Structure 1
Amino acid sequence: MSHDALFQLGMGSVSLNAAQAEDQTTADASAGSRGTPSQEPADHFIEKDGITCAGAHLIIDLFGAERLDDIDYISDTLRSCVEVAGATLLHIHLHPFEPNGGVSGVAVLAESHISIHSWPERSYAALDVFMCGDAQPERCVEVLRRAFRPERIAVQELLRGRGA
């Protein structure tokens, strides 16, 4: 993507306000240097199954699921996922669709995100749960199973940022 296209998307230039600049400076100072063995970088990469990566990304499909049109229930369920995973919620934004009642949205986390898109008319929902650091995204699967009571659930795990 060209610089002009990024600029049109509002991504061409980033200016920090004073608080953000201070936070960035503090983060840089506390991260340490990569060459010092006594200080590890604060990049929140993890080791999973002997592999160093940015984090685990779960792709979750719910089939034959319930309550996929109840936006308040979905919000509460995403909050429960965040809590059991040990993540930090920054913001939730959910949008209902008419006439089918589907919901699309995201819980933005300090550790990344949880997103959902539901098709209640088909009793189907597609979710992805990506978390880095000490968060445990796999704990969300049982929360989703209890909340939406799917007849079938499919989970794929991707280890993001391998080799970075």
Structure 2
Amino acid sequence: MLVHLMLELYNIDREILSNEPLLRQVLDQYPERVAMEKVSPVHLYDIETSNPLDAGMSGFVVIAQSHISLHAWPEYGEVDIDICSCKEFSQEDAINFAKEIFKTDDVEAHFVVRATRSLRPEEPDPVRFAQAMEERRLAKSGVR
């Protein structure tokens, strides 16, 4: 199973949405705030398009369970955040963190359950997990 929370936050001060260190901090802190394991650095891009009103910042961070992304449009006072994970998480915590950071209560939230036929179990088989961990340990030590 895969869960996908999609947030659209409105009426945000353009200075907040133009603050690159703040947006980087949001992506850096979000995994911990929703009890996820971050496995990549934050990737954040200053986006310029053919329409200057659509310019903004877009970024993501990879988590062990999938990803967290955001797209901020200062001209419109809007940020969109997606949290996609095969691990369940608190939607309320995710929404509250976004409201706190972006200083708005104007939030539209959508929640979708995806991959309902996935063969990936909620918890790994203990025997297969132990074997995989041993293989990883040996590979890191250079022993085959």
Instruction: State whether TM-score is above 0.5.
Output: yes
CA distance 1:115–1:75, shift in 2 (3 Å): same
1:136 is matched by which residue type in structure 2?
F
Q: Which residue of 2 aligns with 1:61?
A: 8
Q: Which residue of 2 aligns with 1:118?
A: 72
Question: Structure 1 unaligned runs (5+)?
Answer: 1-53
Question: Structure 2 unaligned runs (5+)?
Answer: 119-144
Q: How many residues align?
A: 110
1:78 is matched by which residue type in structure 2?
L
1:108 to 54, 62, 66: 62
Superposed CA offset, 1:15-62 (max 9, x none): xxxxxxxxxxxxxxxxxxxxxxxxxxxxxxxxxxxxxxx232001101
SS at match of 1:90: coil
Q: Which residue of 2 aligns with 1:38?
A: none
- Structure 1 residue 126 displacement after superposition: 1.4
SS at match of 2:17: coil
Indicate whether 1:144 and 2:90 are aligned: no
Q: Which residue of 2 aligns with 1:131?
A: 85
Q: Which has the higher helix share?
A: 2
Indicate whether 1:96 and 2:43 are aligned: no
Q: CA separation in 1, counterparts of 2:58 and 2:90?
A: 20
- Structure 1 residue 151 displacement after superposition: 4.4
Q: CA separation in 2, counterparts of 1:131 and 1:159?
A: 10
Q: Is the 8 A contact 1:129 1:137 kept in 2?
A: no
How much identity, in percent, do the aligned residues show?
A: 25
SS at match of 2:97: helix
Structure with more contact order per residue of length (Cα contacts < 8 Å, sep ≥ 6): 2
Superposed CA offset, 1:44-96 (max 9, x none): xxxxxxxxxx2320011011123111121011112222112111112210001
4+ residue segments displaced more than 6 Å: none
Q: Is the 8 A contact 1:58 1:156 kept in 2?
A: yes
